[in-house]
């Protein structure tokens, strides 16, 4: 497991790491200090704590329990690169309109292909997707829970449960918000279409789908569909269009 450090950036006016300066976490201190030199002109660096990633997150949370302490804009314990809305907007506006070369795209694609995440990263992503608060304690609990040996019966039950998995309304809302705006490639859409063709839907599932479709047909939706049909039939049809419709 990689060793991380909790570091403190300070100048002559800073006296207390709990109140002044900047506190952060990194696995490569020299590289991170070089990045900070682009923002802060004059400062000194001292390592306050050394340990695992989870331990460092807990220590950073203790030193920066709230946002806007010292030079930090956010509170500690985020576990990664988190930016305030103003910085995110600045980065987003800077990336808009940029054209990436095919070599650049291929390089990024090769870096992410076959990439394996640590147990802490997987636990953090799982908690975030389920809508739970991500903290050092919750990450550690999730990691320890996933390390327990599983019996064959448990694995069989998990596989069967994934086939009939149900989500709460909150989980569905989180997954839906994460999927909105994503652009799928033609290959990805073709793979999903092919997988759906091989999908076997039970009568019970079909009944649930019919009930869900009826629930979506609210009076407003029915009124919109009715208005669209009336407009379609009321529009004049030219002779050429009428002949094409008759001839099929």
List the chain pLDDT tens, one digit each, 248 residues: 568 999 999 999 999 999 999 999 999 999 999 988 887 778 999 999 999 888 888 899 899 988 889 988 888 876 556 667 777 788 788 888 888 888 888 888 887 777 777 777 777 777 777 767 777 777 777 778 777 777 888 777 777 776 666 777 787 787 777 777 777 888 888 888 888 887 778 888 888 888 888 888 888 888 888 888 887 777 555 554 544 444 44
Do 19 and 70 form a contact (C-beta atoms < 8 A)?
Answer: yes
Q: Which residues contact 20 (CB under 8 A, 6 or more apart)?
A: 10, 13, 14, 70, 71
Bridge partners, residue 9, by sequence: 22, 45
| Residues 238, 244: Cα–Cα separation, whole Å | 10
Residue 19 and residue 30 in contact, taking contact as beta carbons nearer than 8 Å: no
pLDDT of residue 248: 45
Environment class of residue 7 by beta-carbon count within 10 Å: exposed (0-12), middle (13-18) or buried (19+)? buried
State residue 123 phi and psi, 5-degree precision. -65, -40
- Closest by Cα among 69, 67, 66 to 16: 69
Quick one: which H or E segment has residue 6? strand 4-10
The pLDDT of residue 8 = 95
* Residue matched to tokens 């909105």: 180
Please check whether residue 52 is in contact with residue 1, taking contact to mean a CB–CB distance below 8 angstroms.
Answer: yes
What pLDDT, on the 0 to 100 scale, is given for residue 81? 60
């Amino acid at each position: 497991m990689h060793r991380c450090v909790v570091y403190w950036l300070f100048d002559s006016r800073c006296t207390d790491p709990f109140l002044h300066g900047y506190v952060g976490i990194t696995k490569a201190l020299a590289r991170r200090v070089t990045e900070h030199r682009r923002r802060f002109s004059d400062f000194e660096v001292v390592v306050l704590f050394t340990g695992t990633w989870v331990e460092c997150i807990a220590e950073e949370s203790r030193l920066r329990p709230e946002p806007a302490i010292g030079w930090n804009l956010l509170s500690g314990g985020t576990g990664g690169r988190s930016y305030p809305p103003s910085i995110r907007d600045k980065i987003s506006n800077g990336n808009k309109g940029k054209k990436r070369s095919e070599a650049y795209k291929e390089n990024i694609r090769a870096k992410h292909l076959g990439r394996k995440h640590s147990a802490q990263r997987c636990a953090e992503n799982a908690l975030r997707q389920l809508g739970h608060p991500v903290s050092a304690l919750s990450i550690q609990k999730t990691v320890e829970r996933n390390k327990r040996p599983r019996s064959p019966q448990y694995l069989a039950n998990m596989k069967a449960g994934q086939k009939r998995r149900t989500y709460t309304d909150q989980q569905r809302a989180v997954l839906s918000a994460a999927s909105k705006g994503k652009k799928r490639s033609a290959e990805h859409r073709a793979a999903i279409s092919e997988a759906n063709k091989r999908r076997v839907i039970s009568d019970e599932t079909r009944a649930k789908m019919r009930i869900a479709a009826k629930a979506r047909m609210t009076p407003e939706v029915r009124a919109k569909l009715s208005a669209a049909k009336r407009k379609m039939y009321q529009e004049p049809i030219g002779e050429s269009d009428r002949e094409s419709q008759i001839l099929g």
